[in-house]
Amino acid sequence: MRSFALTCIVVALLAPVAQAKAHFAGKREMIETAEAIAIVNIEKVEPVKRKGRDWTYSQRATGTVERSLKGDLKGEIEIYGDIDFICANCRYQTGRFLLFLRRDAGLWTGSNWHLGIRRIKDGKVQWFKDDRADFDSDYKAVFEHQELPLDGVVKEIGRILKEQRR
């Protein structure tokens, strides 16, 4: 009985350490770590239950790739979102978006949680306000955005990708 009580105490003390936390990447890290970056017109969003390696997804968005900035995305694409993780999530809606994506067991899903889903409206997109935005040094800066012309953001992404290849 004593060893059982001791085990319960140890588990209770270690439980907070084992709890998951979301890491939000800053601009440069988000661009560099995404497996694909594309401008996508999402035409349909529907409920689904689909298991990846890391998560179970409750939403499937279907869209058409307008332009691929990183990776080789073409034509129609299915993107999965709406996981059961309280700290962060990717939820999709119809419209035109700049998307940062990664694969989970072959399924395309958002990279960098909701920060990897950037709605495009009237040729503009919400983008990082501070070039130095980095979660580890100033996590608040990662969430501060400004509306910028999409063309300028696309050029900046291209410049960062070119620097990464060097």
Residue 115 lies in a domain: yes
pLDDT at 166: 78
Tokens of 101: 């994506």
Q: What angle do CA 27, 29, 34 make, to 5 degrees?
A: 100
Residue 19 lies in a domain: no
- Exposure of 152 in the CB half-sphere (CA atoms within 13 A): 10
Residue 3 lies in a domain: no
In the predicted structure, residue 99 carries a pLDDT above the cut 60 = yes
Domain that holds residue 94: 27-165
In the predicted structure, residue 65 carries a pLDDT above the cut 90 = yes
Residue 10 lies in a domain: no
pLDDT at 128: 77
Report which of residues 48 and 4 the model is more confident about: 48
Tell me the mean pLDDT in the region 55-79: 94
Residue 150 lies in a domain: yes
CA distance linking residue 10 with residue 19, whole number of Å:
15
Residue 145 lies in a domain: yes
The domain tally of the chain equals: 1
CATH number where 128 lies: 2.40.50.120
Tell me the mean pLDDT in the region 127-146: 59
CA distance linking residue 37 with residue 114, whole number of Å:
14
Residue 125 lies in a domain: yes
Residue 69 lies in a domain: yes
**Positions of E strands within the chain:** 36-51, 56-70, 76-83, 95-104, 107-110, 117-121, 124-128, 145-149
